[in-house]
Each structure stands twice: as structure tokens, then as C-alpha cells.
Structure 1
Amino acid sequence: MEPTPKELIVGEAGDARPIAALVRAETVPGNHLPGIVWLGGYRSDMTGSKAEALCRHAGEQGRASLRFDYSGHGASGGDFRAGTISRWLEESLAVFDHFSSGPQILVGSSMGAWIALRLVQELRRKGAGDRVAGLVLIAPAPDFTHELMEPELTEAQRQALAQNGFFEEPTPYGPDPNVFTRALFEDGRTNRVLEGLLETGAPVHIIQGMADPDVPWQHALKLVEHLPSDNVTLTLIRDGDHRLSRDEDISRILAAVDSIPPAP
């Protein structure tokens, strides 16, 4: 069964934006396999190879699956430059609540891992932490604005943020430059997760390439330090890049998903 396109309006009045999602319902009732929720990276969309592979894998197992585009990304509406971690987290929570039920595995890639960790925090705060059966974090970039980008900003970039509210830089992942706004940096500070113990209440699998030019593998080690010692698995791939989209990388991702036990 192919996933069904859905749309959810998040926000009110002038801030409303249509969020596009692809939803696949569980097809083997009673198998107790948690669903899979994909959380993409910065400027990525839900049609990437990892998201497609996870959706296909879920369908083969009869699991539910859910993937969507943040505002300003892919098929969703909204202004990309208005995007912040808080804004994309609000959309993720709304989509999660509206289109999924029961335990879910959060699979977050790069910035999506940051969103996944914040999503767990918000669900636990609401008393819904049992909805998270596990996390699979791929090249995780929590707190990337503060931890990875701010220390490396050039003077020209700092001036552009102060004077223009944004700066652009070329990216090897597409023809258009990446845009980083002052609002993204300021909001990122309020959403930092690498400051204390990150209680997830569920198994966490981290998959990180050691040849990643965007997120150093040491950042994954730092994340592990903030997670409880039980049920945390870190896989370092010596020749793995940031995308981790090779067949062997995707096989590792699917194996991590399958290692998370069914709901009781």
C-alpha cells in the first residue's frame, strides 16, 4: 500500500502554514511493531533515499510510517527564512499528534536528530513519553548553531547577521546556497539539549560517519555523554559521509530500527 498524501495547517491567521505529509497506516494489526516517524535535516525533504527506504521497509513489515516536510521545505508551504528550531518543532509535534498513534520510533537525520530530541522532551513534559519506542539518530547535529557554527563564523558572516539578519553560503548538496538567519541562531540557544542529562526513556541508536565534513564524529561522542548510559548504541563508520545514503549505510539504519523491541 502506497503512503497517502496528507496536509495539516499549523499556526493561526498570518502564521498558518500547510505542512505536507506522507502517511502509511499499519497493515498488520496486532504485530505490536512501533511505527516509524522520519525527521529530516536542514533543507532536506521527505523524498530522500533514507526516508524512502524507511517507508518501504515499514510497508514490508506492516508497520505504520510517517514522514513530512517542515515549513519552507519540500512540498510544505511557509517561508524557509522564517524557520527556526521552535517553529519546526511545533510542526513536528502537530504532525506527530495528528497523524500517528501508539508507540513510534523517531528517526532523525542531522538537524532532524535535534528536532527528535526536543520532541521527546516535549512529549515527556506532556506525559506522553511512552509514545516514543526508540530513537535512531543519523549524523546527529543537536545544538549545531551554537556548538558547530557559531565558533566558526567569519567576521563577514557575523556582520551579515547583525546588519542583514542572515548570511548565505554555498552547499555541495544542491545548486542554491544555504541561508542561515539571525533568528535561527537566537532560537537555537533556547532549544539547546547538550546542557544536562537527556532522559529519553527509550533505546537510542546513533549512526555517525567519521568522514562527515559537516558534523564531526566527536559531536556524536558529546551527545552520548548527555544520554543515560543504558540502551545507547553508537556506530562509527570510518568512511561514512554526512548523508549516509549508501546501500550499506541504509542497511545499518534499517537494522537499528529493527533492533528496537515491539511494544508490550
Structure 2
Amino acid sequence: MNADAPDFFDVDGVGIAVQHRPGTKPPGIVWLGGYRSDMMGSKAVHLDQWAAETGHACLRHDYSGHGQSGGDFNDGTISRWLEQSLAVYRHFASGPQILVGSSMGAWIALRMAQELGRSGDSPAGIVLIAPAPDFTAALVEPHMTDEQRRDLVDKGYFEKPSDYSPNPYIYTRGLIEDGRANLVLKGIIETGCPVHILQGMEDADVPYRHALALVEHLPMDDVTLTLVRDGDHRLSRPQDLELLTLTVSALAERIAASHFGN
């Protein structure tokens, strides 16, 4: 499959764009992108290339309203994107998997781990990049202006300027309200697997203290936190991408050794 020709997998009538590279070497890698990001971003592509070179399977998809997938972005919620991610995972992934979640994708990854754990199918490992679990309640709602609050009531959404695009971020009432139903930083999070967090200390979007708070909610898991002193939210510089693949590679080797004794 080439980068321009994804598979389209139907989830509740929406065509979800999927890139699945089969592998010969467990575990597989599952990419979960951020809010308004897509599977052709630099970290996702870099990880896919690493997987191709090392023989690991790599599974990527675009949430509805993102990238090449169908659906309206403004209809998106954490629950909807979680449902799509679980459907793609259950259809395409087999054997032990590492969930790699970036920003909002880290929230999706943690929710996936909770849902998969209920069926006895916990991921083998998780890597979180600039994790933004509960971002709607913890990072958006507390900083809304009076005008934005009025827009949320009157229009059903409000806009916020983006540092990464000329188009503003759009936050809908549905997203905000649904976010409250998916909060994970309200108690103990049990993923059932080792978790490695990569966080930039110069992240203006998700303060590194948010990652420290997340660690406090993972007392049952083996958690490693790597702080990148000069790293921003994207963590997409060459040295950041190298750190990502080193982290995933080390976790993959650990998982292979524990699962297969090699």
C-alpha cells in the first residue's frame, strides 16, 4: 500500500482511512494522532518507516473529519474517535501491540487500554508523546474567555487561534460535553502494560506538569517519563524523532523478550 492509497474501513457509515503495513516481527505498532492531525504527519511517517526497516507491523488511521477519512470534523468527539480507533484496531491488529499516542492521541490510547483491558486484550506497551488526556476539561475549559463561553452556548462552538495553521481550532459543545464522559485523570488508570511518556518542557500547548500529573494516575504500571528540556509540543525535530524510535525500539525488544523469550 502506498501513502496515496489508503484502505477505507467503514465504521458506522463513515469511511475511515487506514494504512496497515504487515510485519514479521512482533510487537506491532499502532499510531494514534492528535487533534486535527493525520497519519501523514512527520512522527507517524517516521515511525512507519522505522517499522518497515525493522520488520514490525504498523497500523495508522485518520479519525473521522481528519486527513483522508470521511465525516465532518465538527461532529467528532472523544467517544466517536475512540470507537473508530477500537474498530480499526480490532479488525487489523493481531498479536501484541504498542499503542503510540500523540497529544489527544494519548487520551485515545489510554481509553483504548481501558476498553481493551475489559476484554482481556490489553496492549503490550504504550508510548505517549506530549500526552493531552482530559484536555477539554483540564486545558481548554479553564481558559475559555467570556466570549468563547457565549459562542459555545449560542453557536454550539467557539474558535481559538492555532500556532500551527492559519485556520483556528474549533471546539464544539459536543466535544466539550463528551470529553467529560471520558475523563481518565479522575482516579487510577490501569493500562496493564509498561508506559513510556515523552514530554517537551517548552511545550506551550500541554504544559509538562500535565504529564507529571498523568504519572500520578498510573501507580499500577511501570512508567518511564522522559522530559526533553528544549522540546516543544510537536517533538518533531530530527533528535525528537530519533528519541521516539529509540523509545519504541527498546520497548519492542522488551516486549518480545517477555512474550517470546528472545
TM, length-normalised to structure 1: 0.94
Q: How is 1:1-264 mapped onto 2 (pairs within 5 angstroms)?
A: 5-11=6-12, 16-26=13-23, 28=24, 31=25, 33-129=26-122, 132-228=123-219, 230-260=221-251, 261=254, 262=256, 263-264=259-260
Deviates more, 1:162-171 or 1:226-235: 226-235
1:34 positional shift: 0.5
SS of the counterpart of 1:53?
helix
Separation (CA, whole Å) in 1 of partners of 2:213 and 2:196: 14
SS state at 2:124 partner: strand
Shift of 1:230: 4.6
Deviation, structure 1 residue 211:
0.5
Unaligned runs of 5+ in 2: none
Q: 8 Å contact 2:201–2:231 — kept in the other structure? A: yes
TM-score, scaled relative to structure 2: 0.94
The alpha carbon displacement at 1:252 in A equals 0.9
The letter of the residue matching 2:174 is: A
Q: What is the alpha-carbon distance in structure 2 between the residues aligned to residue 252 and residue 150 of structure 1? A: 32
Paired residues of 2:193 and 2:221 also in contact (CA < 8 A): no
Deviation at 1:196, TM superposition (A): 1.0
- The alpha-carbon deviation at position 116 of structure 1 amounts to 0.2
The one-letter amino acid paired with 1:7 is: F
Contact 2:27 2:56 in 1 (8 A): yes
Q: Secondary structure of 1:234's match?
A: strand
Partner SS, residue 6 of structure 2? strand
Q: Does the residue aligned with 2:19 lie in a helix, a strand or coil?
A: strand
Q: What is the CA–CA distance in structure 2 between the aligned matches of 1:17 and 1:115, rounded to whole Å?
A: 19
- Answer whether contact 2:192 2:221 (CA < 8 A) is retained: no
Structure 1 unaligned regions, length at least 5: none
**CA–CA distance in 2 between the matches of 1:100 and 1:179?**
32
Distance 1:168 1:147 in 2: 17
Are the counterparts in 1 of residues 190 and 221 from structure 2 also a CA contact under 8 Å?
no
RMSD: 1.2
Q: What is the aligned residue count?
A: 254
Q: Match for 2:35: what amino acid? A: Y
CA distance in 1, matches of 2:110, 2:91: 19
- 4+ residue stretches of structure 1 with deviation over 6 A? none
Task: Give the drift of 1:228.
Answer: 2.2
Deviations 1:224-254 (A, max 9, x none): 0000265200011111000000011111111
Structure 2 counterpart of 1:39, which letter?
A: L
Shift of 1:2: 5.2
CA distance in 1, matches of 2:87, 2:192: 21
Is the contact between residue 130 and residue 206 of structure 2 (CA under 8 Å) also seen in structure 1? yes
- Per-residue CA shift, 1:112-147, capped at 9, x if unaligned? 000000000000112212xx1100000000000001
